[in-house]
Amino acid sequence: MTASNPASSSSAAPAPLASVLFVCVHNAGRSQMAAGFLTHLAGDRVEVRSAGSLPGDQVNPAAVAAMREIGVDISAATPKALTTEAVQASDYVITMGCGDACPVFPGKKYLDWSLADPAGKGVEAVRPIRDAIRSRVESLIAEIDAA
């Protein structure tokens, strides 16, 4: 194939349909699981970010284990600090217990997902939180795809 072949120009990945930022306090549990699910389920259709208002030192090992059980690997994820730039670059900002720490900008869609904090809990207690996050992420993908 040559560069002038129209078929070769269609191989470029399309731009993401939306960008999503998940925010929780430590960016170590809920927001990391949500980002893992969105990346896993939507692929490159959606740009995914996560951050925390007071980021922890590492992702919660029980969250990593609970996600691994269902084939989603978040073991390489690291907690990141919430920045104004991350909020500005996102179409959807989804908070999970970060209070008023998240800056608000016009034109963004803000959602607050009330979910239990998996901090300090074992895998058994994290599974229902994981499953609730998956359900909400699936609904979010349907909303983004419909837009």
More confident site: 105 or 51: 51
Could you tell me the CATH number of the domain that includes residue 94?
Answer: 3.40.50.2300
For position 12, what pLDDT does the model report?
Answer: 64
Out of 21, 34, 59, 98, pick the active-site residue.
98
Q: Residues for the chain: how many in total?
A: 147
> Is 13 labeled as catalytic in the residue annotation?
no
From the number of C-beta atoms within 10 Å of its C-beta (0-12, 13-18, 19+), residue 56 rates as middle
104 tagged catalytic: no
| Gap between the Cα atoms of 82 and 18, Å rounded | 19
Q: How many domains does the chain have?
A: 1
Domain that holds residue 25: 16-146
Give the DSSP H/E element, type plus range, for residue 19: strand 18-24
Could you give the percent of the chain with pLDDT greater than 70? 88
| Whether 88 is catalytic | no
Residues 88-126 pLDDT 10s:
999 999 999 766 666 778 889 999 999 999 999 999 999
Q: How much is the pLDDT for 13?
A: 66
Q: Would you say residue 76 lies in a domain?
A: yes
The answer to whether residue 60 sits within a structural domain is yes
